[in-house]
Amino acid sequence: MESPEESHKEPSPTTDPPGSQNPLGKESRNGKDRIKSYSWALLAVWTLTIGISLGWSLYQAREGILIMALEAARINYEKDVLYRRWAAIHGGVYVPVTPATPPNPYLENVPERDLTTPSGRHLTLMNPSYITRQVFSLSLQESAIRGHITSLKPLRPENLPDLWETQALQSFAQGKSEAYTTQNLEGRPYFRLMRPVFAEKSCLKCHAHQGYQEGDIRGGISISIPLDPLYAEQKRTIFTTFLGHAFLWLVGLAGISLGQRNLMNAWQQQENAENALKQSNSQLHRLVAETGRLHRETSLVSEMTDHLHACLTLEEAGQIIHRLAPQLFPAYSGSLFLLNASRNILELIVNWGEVAPNQSIFEPQRCWALRRGRPYQMLDPAQDLICEHLAAPSTARYYCLPLVAQGDTLGVLQVRSAASADGDDTHGVFPETVQSLARTVAEHLALSLGNIKLQETLRHQAIRDPLTGLFNRRFMVETLELELHRMRRRELPLAVVMLDIDHFKRYNDTFGHSSGDVLLSALGQMVRQKVRKEDVACRYGGEEFTVIMPETSLETACQRAEELRQAVHDLHPEHQGRGLGGITISLGVAVFPQDGENHEDLLRAADAALYEAKHAGRDRVVASRKADQDSPDSTA
Catalytic residue IDs: 543
| CA-wise closest residue to 380 among 442, 423, 438 | 423
Cross-strand bridge partners of residue 348: 337
Helix (H) or strand (E) run with residue 547 in it: strand 544-550
Angle between helices 504-511 and 513-530 (to 10 degrees): 140
What one-character DSSP code corresponds to residue 208? Answer: G
* DSSP-based three-state secondary structure for 150: strand
Of 172, 223, 180, the residue nearest 199 (C-alpha): 172
Q: In 186-312, at which residue ranges do the beta strands (DSSP E only) sit? A: 188-198, 217-226
Among residues 236, 202, 184, the alpha carbon closest in space to that of 90 is found at 202
Q: Please spell the DSSP secondary structure of 164-205, one letter per residue.
A: HHHHHHHHHHTT---EEEEEEETTEEEEEEEEEEE--GGGHH
351/498 Cα distance (integer angstroms): 43
Burial profile 105-137: b = 16 or more Cβ within 10 angstroms, e = fewer: eebeeeeebeeeeeeeeebbbbbbbbbbbebbe
CA distance 179 to 165: 9
Which helix (H) or strand (E) is 148 found in, with range? Answer: strand 146-150
How far is the CA of 540 from the CAs of 109, 346, 476, 546, 607, in angstroms?
A: 183, 34, 8, 6, 11
Residues 314 and 287: beta-carbon distance below 8 Å: no
The three state secondary structure string of 308-328 is: HHHCCCHHHHHHHHHHHHHHH
Helix (H, G, I), strand (E, B) or coil at 226: strand
* Residue type (1 letter), 16: D
Residue 154: cis peptide before it, omega within 30 degrees of 0: no
Cα four-point dihedral sign 161, 163, 166, 168? negative
How far apart (Å, rounded) are the C-alpha atoms in residues 399 and 376?
Answer: 6
Q: Cα 540–542–548 angle (5° rounding)?
A: 20
- The amino acid occupying position 543 is E
| Neighbour-count burial of 618, counting CB atoms closer than 10 A to its CB (0-12 exposed, 13-18 middle, 19+ buried) | middle
- Ramachandran assignment for 187, one of left (phi > 0), alpha (psi -120 to 50 degrees), beta (any other): left
Is the peptide bond preceding residue 393 cis, with omega within 30 degrees of 0? yes
